[in-house]
Structure 1
Amino acid sequence: MATNFRKAEILEQARRDGKVVVEHLARRFDVTVQTIRRDLSELSDAGKLERVHGGAVIPSGVVNLVYEERRRLNEEGKQVIAKACAADIPDGSSLFMNIGTTTEAVAHALRDHENLLVVTNNLNIANILSGNVGCEIVVAGGMLRRADGGLIGGFAADTVRQFKFDYAVIGCSALDRDGDLLDFDAQEIVVTQAALARARRVFAVVDHSKLDRKAPIAICGLADLDVLYTDGPLPSALQGIAKNRGTRVVETGPA
C-alpha cells in the first residue's frame, strides 16, 4: 500500500477510535513497526496526530477539536455508553444534559422515554429530542457558540440554577489520571457546574479516547459523580480513585 493511502487510513482509524497502536497497525498493513512509527512521526509533525506511548491520538491541548472531528471519534463506543446511561434513567425524570457528542448520543438513546423534562445548553440535544412528544425541553438561554450549537456563559447558568434535577448527564473533553474531568471553555464549564450543584445524582459519560487527551480547566472530580459510564476498562489508578471516592463505574465494553 502506498504511504499516502496508509497514512490516510491510519488517520481515519484514529478519528474513529480516538487512538491507534503501533503493533496493531503493523499487523493490519503487513509492514514493520518501524514503518508505522515513521508514518506516525510524519503525521505528528504535520499536526494531524499526537504521539503517545505505543501509538498516537488525535491532538489536543488548550484548544478543542472541531465539532465534526469530535463527533466521529469512537462513535460506536459512545453509542454503547449512551444506551447504558439511558437505561438507568427512568421515565418521569428531570435531567440536565450538557454540551458534547457523548451526551448527544445519550439523547438519541432517550428518544423512547416518556414524561421527561430535559434542560440543556446544547441545541443539538434539543433537536434530537424534539421529536419525542413525551419529552418537555427547556433550552438554557445564553451566548451561542456556533461551532457546536452550545449555549454558554452566565445567562445559561442562571437558567440552570432555577431547576432541581433528578439527574445531570455530563460529558467532558478529557479525564485526567488524577480523576479530574476537564474541558476547554470556562464559559461552558460554569453552566455544567451550576447543573452539578442542582442535581440529585450526577452521571458522567466518558469514552476511552478522553483518557489520552488533555484539557486545561477542571469541571469536577470523580468524587462528584455518582456513576461514570465508559467503554473502558479504566486504568487501575482511576479504578482505585473511583472506588475510594464512592463512584460506581460502568464499563460497557465494545459495541
Structure 2
Amino acid sequence: MTEVLKLNQLTKLFGGLTAVSQVDMTLNKGELIGLIGPNGAGKTTIFNLLTGVYVPSKGDILFMGKSISGKKPYQVTAEGVARTFQNIRLFADLSVLDNVKIAYHWHGKYNLASSLLRLPGYFAGEKKMTEDAVELLDIFNLADKKDEIAKNLPYGLQRRLEIARALAAGPKLLLLDEPAAGMNPLETRDLMDLIRWIRNEFNLTVLLIEHDMSLVMGVCERIYVLDYGKIIAEGLPDEIKANPKVIEAYLGEEVSYA
C-alpha cells in the first residue's frame, strides 16, 4: 500500500491550551477515512494543520513521504491537498463557472506576460480552463447552473459546487469538513453516494470530518476518534460503534447510527 498521509505525534498548542496532542494517523492511497469526535475535540484544528493554516507546535506531517509541516497553504495545495470547509466558502458574488475556473487557474498554462498583453497563449489557456470547468460542473450536475451567481444556489448545490472547486485544484488528498452540515436526510444520502463516486472516479484518498454518524458509518472504511485533542480509538465502523471509550466520549450527546 502507498502511504499518502502520515501524522507523527502531531501537536498544536495555543498558549497554555493543547488543542491537538501527539496525534498519530496514517492514510493509504485510495482510502476513505473518517475523523469524528465531540464538538471542540480538535478535528478542524487538524485540518488547519494539514493545510498550512496552522504550524505544528510539535510532530510532523508527511504527505507522499515528504514533510509539509510549516508550508504555506498555497504550497500545500501545490503538493496535492485540497479541502472544503464546515461553513461554505464560495466566492458568493461570482458565477458558478468562475468559482471553478479560479481553482483551475492554479495550474494554468499561460504566464503573467501572456495575461497582461493578451497574447494567444492567454486566450488558449482561458478556453481550455473554461472547457475543463464546464466538464467538471457537468459531472456534478451543475453545468446548467454555470452562469448563476453562487450565492443564489440552493444549499445542497452550494456544497456540490464547493467540492467541485476543490477537485479542480487536482488533489491527491481531499479533506471534507462536515460536508453534510445543514443537509436533510435525502441530501445526505445523495452526498454519501457522491463521496464514494468521487473517491473512485478521481482516484483520491479522502479524509472526512462529520457529525452525521449515519454518513460516517455508511461511507467510511476506517474511523479515527478524537477527544480533547487525542486519538482515543481507531478501527472499522463496527468496532468504533462498540468501543466503550467512544460511547463515553459521546455521553450527553445524541448520537444515531441509523
TM-score by length of 2: 0.31
Greater RCO, CA 8 A, separation 6+? 2
TM-score by length of 1: 0.31
